[in-house]
Amino acid sequence: MKIKQLVTLAVVALTLFSVQAFESNDDLKARIQPVGSVHIAGAAAAGAAASGPRSGEDIYKGACAACHTSGVLGAPKTQNAGDWGPRLAEKGKKGVWRNAIKGINAMPPMGACGNCSEDDIMAAIDFMTEGVE
């Protein structure tokens, strides 16, 4: 009887101890987490800052090349005078820029670039029309 009680006590004590150990482990994780994510966010921001502003070519490669390299859906091909000349003559650089921002026919607004500013769009157009104007 006494031994059984002791064993029961020991089991209960062990169980409590391990549950506690578990909880404090979770606690620790919870306390570490915010510090970890702040650190990661900081690193990402530092990375972005270190890479500096993107060039028109970078923006073009990331957001516009898929259509404008091969001329998919009638997209004016990059640095192709025959494709760009008439558009620039008719609308000017500002005109095609405005159309790129708001979208035109199969050309999605902003070239569907989620992280491009209007200046980025102009930089990409500068690259696409290099040597054409």
Task: Pick from 124, 130, 131, 133 the residue near ligand HEC by CB under 6 A.
Answer: 124
Q: What is the DSSP letter of 73?
A: G
Q: Does 63 bind ligand HEC (CB under 6 A)?
A: yes
Q: Does 12 bind ligand HEC (CB under 6 A)?
A: no
- Give the binding range for ligand HEC (CB under 6 A) out of 1-9, 27-35, 47-55, 110-118: 110-118
Task: Pick from 69, 79, 80, 99 the residue near ligand HEC by CB under 6 A.
Answer: 99
The neighbouring-strand residues paired with 107 are 104
Cβ contact 93:133 at 8 Å:
yes
Instruction: Supply 69's token pair.
Output: 């390299």
Q: Does 107 bind ligand HEC (CB under 6 A)?
A: yes
Phi-psi map region of 60: left, alpha, beta (phi>0 left; psi -120 to 50 alpha): alpha
The neighbouring-strand residues paired with 115 are none
Three-state secondary-structure class, residue 57:
helix
* Residues contributing to the site for ligand HEC (CB under 6 A): 63-64, 66-68, 72-76, 87, 91, 96, 99-100, 104-108, 111-113, 116, 121, 124-125
